[in-house]
Amino acid sequence: MIGQVRGVVRAVTRGVDLAAAARAGVVSVVAYTAVMEVDRRLTGSRIDDLILLGRPAVPNRPDLARRVGAGIHLVNGAVIGVAYATLAHDRLPGPPWLRGVMALMVENLALYPTMRPLRTLHPAIRDGQLDDYWSWPAFVESLPPHIVYGALIGPLYERFRTATPGRRPVGDS
């Protein structure tokens, strides 16, 4: 079974530089987090993806939620970087930054409906540590960090994969 899963992963990610994609994803998610943090401080918003991700892991320790969430967010950034490189980088038109933005807008729109059940299920929303994510203001607030992540992931993936030792730059024959 594990061998079959590995075979499928290899087949799906053939031609993808997984290390470059993960690195690009981590760098991009750090920028995403910085944009989110600036927005939170400027607007006083209680929309915080670090708490959103971390609080379920430590439901009785809201003081640890951001730190735990930061680790989860970094892993998510790497995974989304690999997903971008695998599914979108060579399939979407336009320059790398635009391909990244398009991919992240699709990701945001596809996943946003999962925010609705959090109204009653998420401990930080239930106790008021976070605002409800299922609202137009929260959705609009999610756009700038996703745009920044997207604008970075495409060019960074190209740069990191062409900088990998033993790999020729894209377009070289």
* 173, pLDDT greater than 50: no
Average pLDDT over the chain, rounded to an integer: 90
All structural domains of the chain with their residue ranges: 16-161
Q: What is the DSSP letter of 168?
A: P
Tokens of 7: 């075979």
| Model confidence pLDDT, tens digit, residues 5-54 | 556 455 556 789 999 999 999 999 999 999 999 999 999 999 999 999 99
Query: What is the secondary structure of 99-152 as a DSSP string?
Result: HHHHHHHHHHHHHGGGGTTHHHH-HHHHTTSS--SSSHHHHHHHHHHHHHHHHH
pTM confidence score: 0.86
| Model confidence pLDDT, tens digit, residues 79-134 | 999 999 999 999 999 999 999 999 999 999 999 999 999 999 999 999 999 999 99
* 35, 63, 126, 139, 152 from 119: Cα distances, Å: 24, 20, 7, 14, 31
